[in-house]
Structure 1
Amino acid sequence: MFNLSSLPELTPEDLLTYQEAIKEELQKIIPAQKFTLFFPAAKPDYLSKQDIFIEKNKIHLAINYSQKFLGVITLHNYTKRRVRGLKTALPTILQLILQHISIYKKFFFNEQLHIYTSNYIDFFLQETIRDILLGLNPKENNFSSNYFSVSLLAINPLLKEYPLKTQKFLLQEIIGLVQTNFSPWPLALLSGQKLCLLLTNLNSSKGSSLLTHLWSKLHQHNFSHPVLKNKLKLNFGVSLVTFPKDFDSQELLLNNTEIIPLFKEKLDLALEKSLQFKEPFSFDKILKLGGRIKEVNCEEITIDIGKESKVQDGYIFTVLNKDKINPKEKGKIIIKEVGQKQSKAKVIVNLEPIYKIKKGDRLKLTSQSDSKFYLDYKNTILEEARKILESYGQVKLALFQVKSEKISHKDSLDLLEEEIQKITSPLFITSNETQIIAALYQESNKELKEKLLKLEQEFYKQHQITFYVGVGHLPLPPFHLSDLYRNAEKALIHSRYYEERPHLAFFDSISLTISGDRMFSLGNYFDALSEYQKALYLDAKNILALNSLGISYAKTGNLPRAKETFLEVLKIEPGNELARYNLGRILEQLGQEKEAELVFLQCKTPLYRGFSLLRLGKKAEKQKDFKKARDYYLQAKELLPNYSQPHTLLASLYLKKEEMEKAKEELHQALLKNSLDALALNLLATIYLKNKENLSLAESLAQKSISLKPEIPEFWKTLREILAAQHKEKELAFLVN
């Protein structure tokens, strides 16, 4: 049980954050059509004598907590038959709701250190990753997406050599230093004394810049003993991990809750490397420049990075000496066996006796054209495939991968290989360190499918072990023998999309569409284009591939081709609303505004019709036709009851017309539907600034909007104006810099 006196105080910012929870709890007691939240500078006269005021269609509740007035809740068009007897009970019920929020805040916020807890990190990652995963899928038109990336920037201060009181003092000083220099991003306690900043929507260069800046600030700061005042030299690990950039295509198939522990593992690994090399480390730097020689045994080398750092068979590393300023090359090694945390390699270039490869030498990843699998292994398969193709006129390559782990992976692979030979009689079979079995066949697709289904059924019946199998073949030109392995890989990935047994897929148009989607999700839009084009070569009526092709053309700036593609989708499937909406957006970008308007108005379903009306409203607003814009926004609000955008755009319009109260009410409704609507937060901050009321709340709102969308200059401008209005010269100077 919580000691109620130990619960944290609540602020207007907390009420905004948890307003949806407050609304839900009050709705259980007294249903109302609308819920609004206001923060007047002082308690209104009508609530001066009591904390509830009931009108014909409204109930006003004063929000008091810990003897402080925080704001007012108004319930509009409430259910009147439920009011009797609640006049005295509602303020008490509200107090209980606020108490629960305070308990929730204690769970998420460390009052002692004035930073967020690790529970908040998990919550933050869960919400942002889910949002990003939706946005990465070209099949989704995720209108409410707030993010394209999320990063954790971690700090591990080594304080254990100092007494406990000194550790606490130094940790507080580090927190203060980070909060001063890295406002407005939230700071949280990761674990122990590890801290991390929660960052969103940073591109690679900005992330790298912040990582270097944090390292510099920590190492340039003069830390001193709290009592003796002598200078202390502190050591830090500083690391950065970004989603989705630092996650491979397989990891992107996981759901948001499965990704979180993986995120933290990557962060710890990068922190470990930062402490080891005494320099800041992003996760992608581990593979490029974060490996070291662990053991040297004649020509066999053990290195200290493995699968968790994305090392793969066939990767080639240059071996460097330990000199950071002027590193000398000692030779080259190639990876031949990959473990989880370390790998085995053999020397392929040795510059001994001039430079002898030693334990502790640093590794630098060498650029290589094909290092996914050990080259000899892959070439052997393709050579055998060539012979089969010449003899039989056709060849199939099946790749098998065990899913179940009821027994050791190696044992299950051995069992599977025996059964493959016995039941399917391949012309050639082999396996490698990547735990994939490859088998070559000459049968037709139909004959091979029958054999593979029989294998799957009997193997599962006998051993209760599930496996994936992808079959690659060469459908027609433009596929060549060199594509056989890649086609089998794509089919293997395709097989993982089947939720039920058997997990069997033959390479086809859908395999290529899935491959294109994976490339699209990683930002490789030109590669995705190529995959969608090949998918359409195999099936010209693959609507999924055709729609994604149009989106990829748009992403790569080829708007005329995007337009043609969406028109082609609508020719095949006239009712495809996603293609129609996307066509409207492309026409807008091409400057064909009348045509775009006609297309938008043809959208029928509430979702696409609603967002089409929002775009038309923006156009009308740009043309200063505020009445028309307002009408479009109001129609969109009816069609999109669960989205914040209509409220936010209406508020922006009201703000331009100086109708502050209307704007404020719409913004509260927007934040009730989406507390992470960055524009709504910024506009609400602007209103409080213009009214010169509750500037601390305005500052908090502006900071939150920047933490969500740091790439928008207007948000930073708002924060600067709020700081200037409060005469916060120190923070303002930092922000300007």
Structure 2
Amino acid sequence: MKDCLVSTDVSLGGCNSLCSLARADILEQESLLISRLRHFLSFSGHALYFPTSALPEEPEYLPRERKLLLPLRYGGVALGMLMLHGVRAREVRPLFPLLASLAQLCLELLQRVKLCCRDRVTGLATEDVLYGLMEAEAARVRAQLSRPCTEEENVPLHRLCMGLVLVRVDNGRAVASESGFCFSDALMAQAAQAFAREVPPEACAARVGRFGIAALLPAVSGRGVCRQLAEAALARLSGVCLPEPLSGRAVRPVVSVGYAVYPQDMEGGDFALDMSEQARRLMERARLAARVASRRGGAGAVMSFARILQEGGSVVQVLPLGRVRISLGKRAKAREGLRFSVWEGGPQGRYKGEIVLLQVTEQDAVAETLHLADAAAPLCEGDALALLSEESGAPRQDAENGGGGNEGEEDARGICSHGMFLRRFALERERDERFALTILRREPDGSDEDPLTPLIDAWKAAPALCGERVLAGRYGGNALIFYHPGVEAEALAPHWAELCTALAARGVTVVAGIAGHPFLQFRKTEAPECALKALEYAQLLPAPHVGVCNSLALNISADKRYSLGDVFGAIEEYKLALLADQENVLAWNSLGTCYAALGRHNEARRYFLEALQRSPGVEQAVQTRYNLGTVCLQLEDRKAAAEYFRQCIADAPDHLYAHLRLGQLCEDAGRRAEAQKYYEQAAAIEEERERRDGEVSNVARRCLARLVARQRKGEEAREMLHDALLRNPRDDATMRMLASLYLDGGDDPAVAETLARRSLLQHECAEGWRLLSRALAAQGKSREADEAAARAAVL
């Protein structure tokens, strides 16, 4: 039974009835149904039919075609017809009197699995089911990011994410304490039903903990879809009300909503963890967002995990010496050195000053006061925080403006406080036309010693790094920042590498990022930001982990912007990377990708050609040629596209997508035999990857199914598509193709509607909305069909 629960794919539905089995359930649990039948019969393929006319009462075997038609009936309801292909006569004949009972047994198993996967009180999916789906969806997102997309799957990276929306019933415990647990269960059931009405059929609604409800939105949802669902759920839940049995008073759930997305809201180290651990960390981030929403906005508030750092923090304790404890910790992605403006009563209230983070723990952080707007109005508990950018948060230099206590002092080792360093840096940089800034950070290692002591000792023992005018300051609890006047960043790099190597020999792992000025058009005030870019670059380098802010560091920073959907910001940084190094092939290639994403294919082609001319190795040249072929295809230059794809295959015979593109070109030209050859080669590559790496891809199978369907071989196409869905139940393109076949074949349009809806949130496209419109129109739902058609017209 274990494999049943893992492979059932119970996702996509809110509060389905617990006591009935529907046609949609058979589609959702198709893999389980087929795996159970294989215990009794061997067959080479299968297809599901959902005819609107009456089904035959008994199974039927067609010996000439070696097909078995098996009616699916449960509880006196005709659900559909299963066609098994390649069934041997000598195997099926002894079982023939038992086939109806065998089908009934398999359907009963589906029903039991459905019951096991639903929460008894709310009717939603259980928490274990939700985590299983989160693991599968996270793996799918990472697989998508690790390979190029076909044209039909081409979506912006910032939308290639899995969304988790969590509704927190804040007064759940109070209701249970005052009115009893049975009453609180009844209130939760009503809240769950209201929530499920807003959850699309493609998503999974589940109960989380005792007083939480969550919805998992499949990949390619984006933050906007999560926020829309969160706000719609709040509006719907505001109308939930249940009278208490004894007093008759109306009790309403007090809710707050938080949401997080994968992988954008994860940290670099998280991706090395097991998928099960990653799923639970994402849930914790959604919970944290809901808690912050409750604290900052009260009942009926929505908060994204990504916005917690920007606007979700507050002062929780005022400490001596001008320091405060704030509510942001490492869990909210806070780090040492970040600066915040402080506001009384929120960003719309009175401005009170600025703080900088000194030491960050998991739950909270200690910050130092940089500036007070009014010395008579000190920082207080409950003051709201807003994250400052590097430039907008530049420290005030006017001593009359006041500041935190103890900022003007150095410790006995000559290390400035962070606020003191910023003020001295602001003065020193005006005296020097050339300088370098270094951030040295110690990686966590579980040691109980002061994390900065070994760093300071090693720095003092390096004469090349501590000169007369060198400034050293704290950059949080585990990092230092250094100002080196009159030197080049490249000249400092070997000395910092020596220091990092010496520390590594003592078991202390450190990372150093160095930024020099002048560098391109960056201003002196932007040197700390450049040093942070160098630090991110250094983390990706092998030991001794020393990075200089150069072309490659800018490239990595631009990649980060592109992954967050800031295409224009990424283009700006890629161009800066090229200004720093014209031979940066990654920057040329990435610029082409950005312009292709914007639909400016001629410019993309020019950048790809530049990348191809500078490609140092075969691997980079292969990817660039593939990009060029794709862009040429968009520009209707099919001859050039075919040539680039053939060159890809010549250099990399296992390049899956080059085979697929060539197959599409041949298919469009009417050369179906040649197209089939390329698709079959691609399918062989898919099978080899699945066998070797466990990577499941159905692109070649879909292409073959489309080719077969065009040759009027509908049954064979259905078999291929059902087999593809067994391999990957979240394959949205396969769902759309199968829904189209159901509509064209006269099957129940409600099944086609289910498939179309399941595919839409995974990849919202005009084709999916048009299919949904067709399915709704076939059922007589003209108003909904018109709405779906209108959505298709917009895309």
Q: Name the TM-score class by shorter chain.
A: 0.7 to 0.9
Pick the aligned partner of 1:426 from 441, 460, 465: 465
Helix, strand or coil: the match of 1:319?
strand
In structure 2, the partner of 1:290 is 312
Query: How far 1:330 sits from its partner (Å)?
Result: 5.6
Helix, strand or coil: the match of 1:438?
strand
Deviations 1:131-175 (A, max 9, x none): 4445557xx424467861222121122333232222222222222
Query: How far 1:188 sits from its partner (Å)?
Result: 1.3
Contact 2:354–2:371, Cα closer than 8 Å, also in 1: yes
2:343 is the alignment partner of 1:319:
yes
2:182 is the alignment partner of 1:165:
yes
Contact 2:131–2:280, Cα closer than 8 Å, also in 1: no
In structure 1, the partner of 2:331 is 308
2:728 is the alignment partner of 1:674:
yes
Helix, strand or coil: the match of 1:554?
helix
Cα separation, 2, equivalents of 1:471 and 1:85: 77
Contact 1:630–1:653, Cα closer than 8 Å, also in 2: no
2:210 is the alignment partner of 1:192:
yes
Unaligned runs of 5+ in 1: none
2:138 is the alignment partner of 1:129:
yes
Contact 1:614–1:646, Cα closer than 8 Å, also in 2: no
In structure 2, the partner of 1:403 is 443
2:629 is the alignment partner of 1:584:
yes
In structure 2, the partner of 1:178 is 195
1:345-360 matches, within 5 Å, as 346=369, 348-350=371-373, 359-360=381-382
In structure 2, the partner of 1:706 is 760
From the superposition, tell whether residues 361 and 379 of structure 1 become closer, same or farther in structure 2 (CA, over 3 Å).
Answer: closer
Cα separation, 2, equivalents of 1:366 and 1:477: 24
Pick the aligned partner of 2:289 from 270, 284, 291: 270
In structure 2, the partner of 1:377 is 421
Helix, strand or coil: the match of 1:141?
coil
Contact 1:273–1:290, Cα closer than 8 Å, also in 2: yes
Pick the aligned partner of 1:156 from 164, 168, 190: 168
Contact 1:630–1:650, Cα closer than 8 Å, also in 2: no
Deviations 1:283-314 (A, max 9, x none): 24434443444345796554433443345645
Which deviates more from structure 2 when the two are superposed, residues 122-131 or residues 240-249?
240-249
Cα separation, 2, equivalents of 1:654 and 1:542: 45
Contact 1:107–1:119, Cα closer than 8 Å, also in 2: no
From the superposition, tell whether residues 252 and 521 of structure 1 become closer, same or farther in structure 2 (CA, over 3 Å).
Answer: farther
What amino acid is aligned across from residue 46 of structure 2 in structure 1?
T
Cα separation, 2, equivalents of 1:387 and 1:371: 22
2:284 is the alignment partner of 1:260:
no
In structure 2, the partner of 1:612 is 661
Cα separation, 2, equivalents of 1:253 and 1:509: 27
Deviations 1:486-530 (A, max 9, x none): 4543333233224x6443445554333333322222223233334
Helix, strand or coil: the match of 2:186?
helix
From the superposition, tell whether residues 455 and 357 of structure 1 become closer, same or farther in structure 2 (CA, over 3 Å).
Answer: closer
Deviations 1:230-264 (A, max 9, x none): 53232112222234555577878988655433322
What amino acid is aligned across from residue 399 of structure 1 in structure 2?
I
In structure 1, the partner of 2:409 is none
Cα separation, 1, equivalents of 2:490 and 2:682: 49
Query: What is the aligned length?
Result: 707
Percentage of matched positions with identical amino acids: 21
Contact 2:341–2:385, Cα closer than 8 Å, also in 1: yes
Pick the aligned partner of 2:768 from 715, 723, 726: 715
From the superposition, tell whether residues 399 and 555 of structure 1 become closer, same or farther in structure 2 (CA, over 3 Å).
Answer: same
Which deviates more from structure 2 when the two are superposed, residues 221-230 or residues 587-596?
221-230
What amino acid is aligned across from residue 165 of structure 1 in structure 2?
C
What amino acid is aligned across from residue 134 of structure 2 in structure 1?
L
Query: How far 1:425 sits from its partner (Å)?
Result: 4.9
What amino acid is aligned across from residue 124 of structure 1 in structure 2?
L
Contact 2:58–2:70, Cα closer than 8 Å, also in 1: no
Cα separation, 2, equivalents of 1:351 and 1:505: 41
Q: TM-score, normalised by structure 1?
A: 0.78
Q: TM-score, normalised by structure 2?
A: 0.73
1:554-593 matches, within 5 Å, as 554-573=596-615, 576-593=621-638
What amino acid is aligned across from residue 257 of structure 2 in structure 1?
V
From the superposition, tell whether residues 455 and 40 of structure 1 become closer, same or farther in structure 2 (CA, over 3 Å).
Answer: same
From the superposition, tell whether residues 443 and 328 of structure 1 become closer, same or farther in structure 2 (CA, over 3 Å).
Answer: closer
Query: How far 1:37 sits from its partner (Å)?
Result: 3.5
Helix, strand or coil: the match of 1:465?
coil
Helix, strand or coil: the match of 1:196?
strand
Pick the aligned partner of 2:82 from 72, 78, 81: 72
Cα separation, 1, equivalents of 2:286 and 2:74: 39
Cα separation, 1, equivalents of 2:291 and 2:154: 33
Contact 1:304–1:343, Cα closer than 8 Å, also in 2: no
Unaligned runs of 5+ in 2: 5-17, 396-417, 687-696
2:350 is the alignment partner of 1:329:
yes
From the superposition, tell whether residues 115 and 701 of structure 1 become closer, same or farther in structure 2 (CA, over 3 Å).
Answer: farther
Cα separation, 2, equivalents of 1:270 and 1:708: 24
What amino acid is aligned across from residue 327 of structure 2 in structure 1?
D
